[in-house]
Amino acid sequence: MREGPRYRRRVTTPSSETPPWIVRGWRRALDTDAEPDAREKLASLDRFVRWHLGAHAVASLVFALREEVARPLALGARGIGLAVLVLAAVAPRRADSIAIPTVALVALASALASWPTTSNHAFYGAFVALALAVLRSEPALATAYLRATVLLVAFGAGLQKALHGTWWRGSFLAWELAHDRFVRTLGRLLSESELARLRSLRGAREGFVLSFGPLLGIAWAVVIGELVLPLMALVRRTRSFAAIGLFGLGLGFELVADEVLFGGLFAAVTSLFFGANVVRAITRAVLLIYVARAAIFVATGGLAW
């Protein structure tokens, strides 16, 4: 009897053992094994975070000095924090075991000390520094964790915009444009008559909605993008697109709202979706932008930055 070719049977797992696609997506996003260059990425991010927190401390100190009633104790504490951060930033690698936890402690203390006026990016900076300190011994887990925080930050921002509802009819943007904020960038997307209508609303208590047009489309795109892109990043096939989209959103906010420190931190942590060379390039580019902005600040005598 002639025996036919033996085909290898396809190995399948019972359906009860196969997790649904969304769970598989999460596992990949937090997969601690598929990260051969995690330590390099974290080394670049760690260096960046030290300089970033130093830059933030400088900005806080300058703003505190400009306050009418500057409190000597608070100023002294900020000065000490800044000195520690600069020391940590220039410390050699062999001092990492002391420098990394110290940076996390200073960042946390500084964020808590300025509560309830602590900015979101100060909290996020402290959060990233803490993660780098706690998860230092597991670089792959740390990288996956920080990527997950980027997704939660973007999704949380989108969720807040959707829940507050002030972006669906553009009322937030209409109010800001009416009061001459964001006009230099977003104002170009409005007709002269529409901008004049919004400006005429100053002092009014109603009518702050955008007419149908490109700006309203952008408002919708921002909210939907912040909600959808993090979900797309959970799926391997769409992850690169989502990561680039998140970069785009960050860049857009940077151009419109000029949130340099938040934009820089967000870009640096988002770069963890890519290879170590990209992380290195982006963190260095962001630090160069900080230096350029500081130079503008000094050159203009504190009038611009």
Pick between residue 35 and residue 290 the one whose CB is nearest to another protein. Answer: 35
| DSSP string of 208-243, one letter each residue | --PPSSHHHHHHHHHHHHHHHHHHHTTSHHHHHHHH
Pick between residue 84 and residue 131 the one whose CB is nearest to another protein. Answer: 131
Residue with the two structure tokens 């062999």: 94
Enumerate residues 6+ apart whose C-beta is below 8 A from 2.
none
Length of the chain: 305
Pick between residue 160 and residue 300 the one whose CB is nearest to another protein. Answer: 160
Pick between residue 31 and residue 295 the one whose CB is nearest to another protein. Answer: 31
Query: Would you state the structure tokens that stand for residue 275, as one six-digit string?
Result: 């290879």
Residue 174 C-beta: closest distance to another protein, Å: 6
Residue 2 C-beta: closest distance to another protein, Å: 28
CB 104 within 8 A of CB 133: yes
Residues that bind another protein (CB under 8 A): 11, 13, 17, 27, 31-36, 38-39, 116-120, 123-124, 127, 131, 134-141, 145, 148-149, 152-153, 155-157, 159-161, 163-169, 171-172, 174-176, 179, 205-209, 257
Pick between residue 105 and residue 134 the one whose CB is nearest to another protein. Answer: 134
Q: Which helix (H) or strand (E) holds 16?
A: none
Residue 281 C-beta: closest distance to another protein, Å: 22
Verify cis geometry, omega within 30 degrees of 0, for the bond prior to 5: no
Residue 152 C-beta: closest distance to another protein, Å: 5
Residue 143 C-beta: closest distance to another protein, Å: 10
Distance CA 78, CA 217 (A): 43
Distance CA 25, CA 11 (A): 21
Residue 236 C-beta: closest distance to another protein, Å: 9
Residue 156 C-beta: closest distance to another protein, Å: 4
DSSP character at residue 115? T
Enumerate residues 6+ apart whose C-beta is below 8 A from 259.
121, 253
Q: Taking Cα atoms as reference points, which of 253, 257, 249, 252 lies closest to residue 229? A: 249
Question: Residue 114: how many CA atoms within 13 Å on its side-chain side?
Answer: 23
Residue 192 C-beta: closest distance to another protein, Å: 21
Pick between residue 118 and residue 238 the one whose CB is nearest to another protein. Answer: 118
Residue with the two structure tokens 């600069």: 86
Pick between residue 192 and residue 206 the one whose CB is nearest to another protein. Answer: 206
Pick between residue 166 and residue 271 the one whose CB is nearest to another protein. Answer: 166
